[in-house]
């Protein structure tokens, strides 16, 4: 990791310890347990640097709040528009890279998101009579 710092390491460790695709605010709250004087600005700057370095993924869902993922392997995200949860789906190893290579494309980064309604929210809708 380029430009190592205690704060950056704590942010990366926190992000890699969860599979919930947290917001910067959640990460800030968690990192403050270890580094009480860290600022939210420091968290944002480090998340940006980690994303730029390819150490984490920034998932922009178009709702104004980025979510972050410590798993940088090629995988799919299922985003529920009702409960806002994001679920990881592992695909055949290098499936996306194979497609890119077949087309002569050299990928630098990739984030895959499918929007919709998760099974849990769909069941709630059915149980509530469609409301």
**pLDDT given for residue 95 in this prediction:** 79
pLDDT one-digit tens code per residue, 57-83? 999 988 888 999 999 887 889 999 999
> DSSP letters along 49-100, please?
HHHHHTSSEEEE-SSS-EEEES--SSEEEEEETTT--EEEEE-STTHHHHHH
Overall average pLDDT of the 32-50 stretch: 96
What number does CATH give the domain 1-71?
A: 1.10.10.10
Higher pLDDT among residues 65 and 48, named by residue: 48
According to DSSP, the residues that pair with 86 across neighbouring strands are 79
pLDDT of 23 strictly over 60: yes
Higher-pLDDT residue of 120, 62 = 120
How far apart CA 118 and CA 37 sit, in angstroms, is: 38
Q: 33: helix, coil or strand? A: coil
CB atoms within 10 A of CB 109: 10
Query: What pLDDT is attached to residue 87?
Result: 94
Domain covering 73-131, topology? Dna Ligase; domain 1 (3.30.1490)
What is the pLDDT averaged over residues 40-59? 95
Give me the pLDDT at residue 1, please.
46
106 has a pLDDT exceeding 90: no
Same fold, 1-71 and 73-131: no
Is the pLDDT at 103 greater than 80, yes or no?
yes
Q: Does pLDDT of 109 surpass 80?
A: no
Q: Is the pLDDT at 2 greater than 60, yes or no? A: no
pTM above 0.85, yes or no: no
Q: Domain limits of the chain?
A: 1-71, 73-131
Average predicted confidence (pLDDT) for the chain: 89
């Amino acid at each position: 990791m380029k430009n190592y710092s205690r704060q950056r390491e704590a942010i990366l460790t926190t992000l890699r310890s969860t599979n919930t695709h947290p917001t910067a605010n959640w990460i800030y709250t968690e990192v403050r347990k270890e580094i009480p004087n860290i600022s939210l600005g420091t968290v944002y700057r480090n998340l940006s640097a980690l994303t730029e370095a390819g150490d984490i993924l920034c998932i922009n869902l178009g709702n104004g709040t980025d979510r972050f993922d410590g798993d940088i392997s090629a995988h799919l995200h299922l985003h529920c528009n009702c409960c806002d949860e994001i679920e990881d789906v592992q695909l055949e190893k290098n499936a996306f890279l194979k497609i890119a290579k077949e087309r002569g494309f050299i990928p630098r980064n990739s984030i895959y998101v499918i929007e919709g309604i998760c099974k849990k929210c769909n069941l709630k809708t059915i149980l509530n009579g469609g409301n």
